[in-house]
Amino acid sequence: MDLWIALIVYVVQGIIFGVAVNTVIENKGYHENWFWEGFFFGIIALIVAVSKPPKPYEPMRESPLLKKSYERQGVSSNNWKCVFCNSINANNVTTCSCGKSKEDSQQKIKEAREKKDIKNVVQKEAYIIKIIAQYKKLLDAGAITQEEFDRKKQSLLHK
């Protein structure tokens, strides 16, 4: 009977230490499970857990997509790039050493992107016109009918 009591005490004590050690380690920012260390090593594990330095803050890992979008803007999670002088500035720096602000820089990147979008549209348009002109040549040469030309033209223009 005494053996059973001793075993129950051992298990209860183990659980208490396990939970305590795990709580201490989680409060220090570690995403680790120390329950069994606490269960088996009791007070020793608790001392080890308490004396462990808190885990240094780690920013959450960003999704690759978000990171890519930041890279396009010349900005990583911790810094931003000044487009005027190409300096990399920490996020808490709002004005670059060249005198331009973070907002100025981001605005310029935005404008550049819009300009590029317009350029892409113009290029696509020019490409379609070129193709239509080639079909017109085929039509004039009698290789395709007016109807075929019209159909092709419609489909190209509404792509």
Q: Is 40 one of the binding residues for Zn ion (CB under 5 A)? A: no
Assess 83 for contact with Zn ion (CB under 5 A): no
**Residues sharing a CB contact under 8 Å with residue 108, sequence separation 6 or more, in sequence order:** 83, 84
State which residue, 33 or 78, has the beta carbon closest to Zn ion: 78
Binding of Zn ion by 87 (CB under 5 A): yes
Measured from the CB atom, the residue of 23 and 76 that comes closer to Zn ion is 76
Least separation in angstroms between residue 111's CB and Zn ion is 16
CA atoms of 159 and 151, how far apart (whole Å): 12
Q: How far is CA 147 from CA 135, 142, 150, 151, 153, in A?
A: 12, 12, 5, 6, 10
Residue 98 binds to Zn ion (criterion: CB under 5 A): yes
User: Is 95 in a helix, a strand, or coil?
Assistant: strand
Q: Is 75 in the site for Zn ion (CB under 5 A)?
A: no
- Size, binding site for Zn ion by CB under 5 A: 7
Task: Match 């010349």 to its residue by tokens.
Answer: 74
Q: Least CB distance from residue 105 to Zn ion, whole Å?
A: 7
